[in-house]
Chains A and B, each alone.
Chain A
Amino acid sequence: MPKQDKTIQEEEFTSPAEGEDEYLTFSLNREEYAVSIMKVKEIRAWEPVTRVPHAQPWECGLVNVRGAIVPIIDLRKRIGLKNFHYDKHTVVVMFNVRELGREKVQGVVVDELTDVVRFPLSSIQQAPQIKKSRSTQFAQGVVEYSGRMIIMLDLIKALGIREEAE
């Protein structure tokens, strides 16, 4: 389905400059990350979660999104950050993902939303393998955008999505 998303996106949403896609960017540990905006379902403020027993440390818990039970993960914990807190300014981005052929919704806690930007797919470069740090293992590539370096987040890896066997 991701492929189909892309075609819809190209045909209908990027009219100003052909071949450009829109991305939501957010900061994590003072680095800027980007995710295709087509994957974003909604953005919510942090609300208390229900803890799940025996969950992964970065899995915060479950929330009720209009009657659906949605898990929230904290990307900050996922990439190994420490010293952060949750308050009403904490942002949760709800993503539509596809796992094993089924549509799912997952929430992700990030530091701060920064921007919505446009750039063509072709401007994404391979991520430099600086070191095997936690923060680079979820990088799909990097983009140079008005003097900033933006890391393309590998949503599949970051959310721990099981992919269909090809």
Chain B
Amino acid sequence: MSVDVTRFHSVFFEESDEAVNDIESGLLNLDVASVDSETINTIFRAAHSIKGGSATFGFQQVAAFTHVMENLLDEIRAGKRQLSQEIVDVLLGSVDALRLLLTSAKTGVQLEEQVLAEHLVPLEAIMSGELTGNSGSTSAQPVADDDSSEKLVGWRIVFTPHKEMMLRGNDPLRIIRELGEQGPLEVACDTDQLPEWENYEPLNSYLGWTLILRTPVDQSVLDDVFAWVEDECDLAIVPIVEAISQPVAETSSSPQIPEDKTKDTTPELSKESTTKKASTAKAVSAGSSESQSIRVDLGKVDALINMVGELVITQSMLNLLSEDEALQGMERLQQGLLQLHRQTRALQEGVMQIRMLPISFCFSRFPRMVRDLSKQLSKDIELVMSGESTEVDKTVIEKITDPLVHLVRNSVDHGIETMEERIEKGKPEHGTVWLRAYHQVGNIVIEVEDDGKGLNPEILINKAKRKGLVSEDAFIPDQQAFELIFLPGFSTKEQASDLSGRGVGMDVVKRNVQSLGGSIHVESSLGQGTRFVIRLPLTLAIMDGQLVNIAEEVYVIPLVSIIESLQPHPEMVHNVTGTGEAIKLRGQYLPVLRLSEALDAPVGHEEKALENGIVVIVEHENKRFGLFVDDLSSQQQIVIKSLEDNYHSVQGVSGATILGDGRVALILDVGGLAMLQKEVEETYAQAG
């Protein structure tokens, strides 16, 4: 019997990604001076679970590599080796290599040995110093390696059943016996997990085994043996190979890694000693029962969310019907409907919560990034994060990560001055970058702030003028000058640096944020620092909308963009050279866009004067303008539907929704309308 394990691959890669992140954050938290054994254990467990998983799935390169890491970590854990900054650096480097390896295993694209060797050499160099002290005896190499001078002689299997394994009718003894039928088997039992007598649960399995099978059987044979229990145990199957040219005795008695490491490092490094089976098993079982979450396919969650969306529509339809006079007297019906309303909202909120993840999923990469960058730039920079547990939709997290990376990189590279400059200015020697997240009325706000040199509005304006991004004689207040950095084709450093100048400008950051329905602002004071404030909707599926009537059609304006709505007095209305209209509101002239025109209203629609309708003041990119509509209708929470599923995108429209009566209403895209508005505004600017 052979079980197709490929369907577990995605789970393995997901878990490995998490484990790699754990290793990384663990390493970053390590204080070299006083090593916290729990942190080391966490790192070790993560490395070990990657090794176990990759061996099970046959990703030998990954298994071999993590094995070396694991050995090093084990020595640190056992106190055999003093932790130094150098070791931490090397381990961090190997985290990168591990990521590459995992990607290579995932995509099937072979990793260049050169790349791998870069990370292996330092790791190995550290190991080689003390490895001789180990008593282990077997050198193993991956069978996947196509070096023909190696020969498979057997397998080393670390088999640790989960506690509950016997409850499911699986007997570890049967498996060991079955292995024994394959050939000579060495068995070492690990009893570390045995609890005190009073805690002993006779139905649980507390034992682990390290098995050495001295027969070159095919891996599939072993896979078959463990097929029934692979989900119920921690399993690492590592091939034992030896060089053909060398006698067996010599290999098994010389566990040192050969000094010549520059060529063909991969197989050599996978040589291992079998000293630490007991501790390994212990670490694994400690980590196996921690998680309180389940993995669910995102498609299932989205289907559920869609369904609840339908329910919300039906519910609002019932609400609409209940307003009928004939039903007003039926109190119990009305009560029931009210209850339904509340419960539907609660259900909707609950379901949306499933998609929510803490922003730490995105933030966790920054400590490492800032550490590496500041080292590279010889700056002393501290990253202070807050609000990592703030929850936000998974899609938002995925899409906001790149822009944030760019912003943090910018702060570290351009924002914070060099140490000398800072001392000269009388600032603290070490710079600080703050990364904050918090909730604010239905939005998540993410701030990236630094206490660096700040933005100089004059330089920005001159540069924008020089590049022809603004007209020569334009007067630009400071705040607007900062916003210039978001213009396409604007980059503050003349020379694109290795770090920040990768062809992605702030305009891309802004576009990404806007594509999520968010906004970005920058505040800065010269010499004191810069702060970017990103505001994002919590979820992309639902929003609060203002229904408006335009030429007898219903449209939705996102409530988040609306500042206020008003019916202008005739004296507020100003016509600008016959082409544009504006209203003067509290001393400020705001251009007004007639939506009936912008949306190409059907012929026969009679245009009203502004004072006979409603002007909805909206804000986009710190600019305010008015949208002229006939009338306001209700405000309600709407489920956003994509137009592109069956149709295509439309300018000025971001999506559609289904109203309570079952009809489709289009959601206006304030950003897209602002583009239309720009023409009007430019006319206005020339005239005024």
Residue in contact with A68 in the complex, picked from B645, B662, B666, CB distance below 8 Å = B645
Which of A49, A51, A66, A105 is close to B646, meaning CB atoms less than 8 Å apart? Answer: A105
- Residue of B313, B645, B653, B663 touching A104 (CB-CB under 8 A): B645
- B306 cross-chain contacts in A, Cβ below 8 A: 67
Tell me whether B646 and A104 are in contact (CB under 8 A): yes
Contact B646 A70 (CB under 8 A): yes
By the criterion CB–CB under 8 Å, are A51 and B602 in contact? Answer: yes
Q: Please give, as numbers and ranges, the residues of chain B lying within 8 Å of A64 by CB-CB distance.
A: 658, 662-664
Q: Is A106 an interface residue, CB under 8 A from the partner?
A: yes
Assuming the contacts A62-B647, A71-B647, asked whether A54 and B600 have C-beta atoms less than 8 A apart, the reply is yes
Q: Residues of B contacting A106 with CB < 8 Å?
A: 646
Which residues of chain A have C-beta atoms less than 8 A from B598's C-beta? 53
Quick check: is A63 within 8 A (CB to CB) of the other chain?
A: yes
Closest to B313 in A: A67
Question: How many angstroms between the C-alpha atoms of A149 and B651 in the bound complex?
Answer: 43
B664: which of A55, A69, A104 is its contact (CB, 8 Å)?
A: A69
Are B309 and A69 in contact, with the CB atoms below 8 A? Answer: no
Contacts of B131 in A (CB 8 A): none
Most buried by A among B598, B652, B664: B664
The answer on a CB contact under 8 Å between A53 and B653 is yes
Asked if residues B647 and A69 are in contact (CB atoms below 8 Å), the reply is: yes
Any chain A CB within 8 A of the CB of B599? yes
The chain A residue sitting closest to B659, CB to CB, is A64
Interface string of A47-75 (1 = CB under 8 A from B): 01111111100000111101111110000
Q: Chain B residues near A50 (CB, 8 Å)? A: 553, 656, 663-666
Query: Is B650 an interface residue when CB atoms closer than 8 A count as contact?
Result: yes
What CA separation (Å) do A53 and B646 show in the bound complex? Answer: 16
Residues of the A chain whose Cβ atoms lie less than 8 Å from the Cβ of B641: 67-69
CA distance A63 to B309 in the complex (A): 17
- Chain A neighbourhood of B646, CB < 8 A: 68-71, 104-106
User: Within 8 Å of chain A (Cβ to Cβ): is B347?
Assistant: no
- A side interface size, CB within 8 A: 21
- Determine the chain B residues whose CB is within 8 A of the CB of A69 once the complex forms: 641-643, 645-647, 656, 658, 664
**Pair B650/A52 contact, Cβ less than 8 Å:** yes
- In the complex, which residues of chain A have a beta carbon less than 8 angstroms from the beta carbon of B313? 67
Shortest CB–CB separation between residue B581 and chain A, in angstroms? Answer: 20
Q: Smallest Cβ distance from B155 to chain A, in angstroms?
A: 45
Give min CB distance, A61 to chain B, whole Å. 8
Q: How far is the CA of A166 from the CA of B651 in the complex (A)?
A: 29
- In the complex, per-residue mask of A78-96: 1 if CB is within 8 Å of any chain B CB, else 0: 0000000000000000000
Residue of A nearest to B653 (CB): A53
Docked-complex contact B651 and A62, CB < 8 angstroms: no
Least Cβ–Cβ distance between B550 and chain A, in angstroms: 10
Q: Which residues of B are found within 8 Å of A71, using beta-carbon distances?
A: 646-647
Is the pair B647, A67 in contact by a Cβ cutoff of 8 Å? no
Query: How far, in whole Å, are A149 and B309 apart by their CA atoms in the complex?
Result: 47
Main secondary structure of the interface of A (DSSP, over half): strand
A142 to B525, CA, bound (A): 75
- Docked pose: A71 CA to B647 CA in angstroms: 6
- A51 interface neighbour in B309, B553, B643, B662, Cβ under 8 Å: B553
Please give, as numbers and ranges, the residues of chain B lying within 8 Å of A52 by CB-CB distance.
647, 650, 653, 666
| Contact between A48 and B663, CB atoms less than 8 A apart | yes
Q: Are A53 and B599 in contact (CB under 8 A)?
A: yes
Within 8 A of A (CB), among B355-395: none
Interface centre among B643, B647, B653, B663 (most CB of A within 10 A): B647
B-facing residues in A118-161 (Cβ within 8 Å): none
Give the distance to chain A from B628, nearest Cβ to Cβ, in Å. Answer: 15
A17 to chain B minimum Cβ distance, whole angstroms, is 35
* Bound CA span A138–B600, Å: 29
Would you give the shortest CB distance from A96 to chain B, in whole angstroms? 10
Question: Known contacts being A67-B309, A69-B656, A69-B664, is A53 close to B650, with CB within 8 Å?
Answer: yes
**In the complex, what residues of B have CB within 8 A of residue A54's CB?**
600, 650-651
CB proximity of A39 to chain B, nearest CB, Å: 15
Tell yes or no: B310 within 8 A of A by CB.
Answer: yes
B663 near A53: Cβ-Cβ < 8 Å = no
User: How many angstroms from the CA of A55 to the CA of B650 in the assembled complex?
Assistant: 9
Distance in Å: Cβ of B546 to nearest Cβ of chain A: 17
The 0/1 profile, CB within 8 Å of A marked 1, for residues 529-562 of chain B is: 0000000000000000000000001000000000
In the bound assembly, the distance between CA atoms of A25 and B149 in angstroms comes to 71
Residue of A nearest to B655 (CB): A69
Q: How far is the CB of A105 from chain B (nearest CB, A)?
A: 5
CA distance A5 to B434 in the complex (A): 57
- From A66, which residue of chain B is reached at the shortest CB distance? B310
**Alpha-carbon gap, A59 to B121, bound state (A):** 65
Query: What chain A residues lie within 8 Å of B602 (beta carbons)?
Result: 51
Given contacts A68-B646, A106-B646, contact A63 B651 (CB under 8 A): no
User: Complex formed: what's the CA distance from A83 to B310 in Å?
Assistant: 38
Known A67-B313, A69-B658; further 14 A-B contacts with Cβ < 8 A? A52-B653, A52-B666, A53-B599, A53-B650, A61-B664, A62-B664, A64-B662, A68-B641, A69-B642, A69-B645, A69-B647, A71-B646, A105-B646, A106-B646
Of all A-B residue pairs in the complex, the 5 with the closest CB atoms, nearest first, are A50-B664, A53-B599, A71-B647, A53-B600, A62-B664
A-B residue pairs in contact (CB < 8 Å), sample of 23: A50-B553, A50-B656, A50-B664, A50-B666, A52-B666, A53-B599, A53-B650, A53-B651, A53-B652, A62-B666, A64-B662, A66-B310, A67-B306, A67-B309, A67-B310, A68-B645, A69-B641, A69-B645, A69-B656, A70-B646, A71-B646, A105-B646, A106-B646
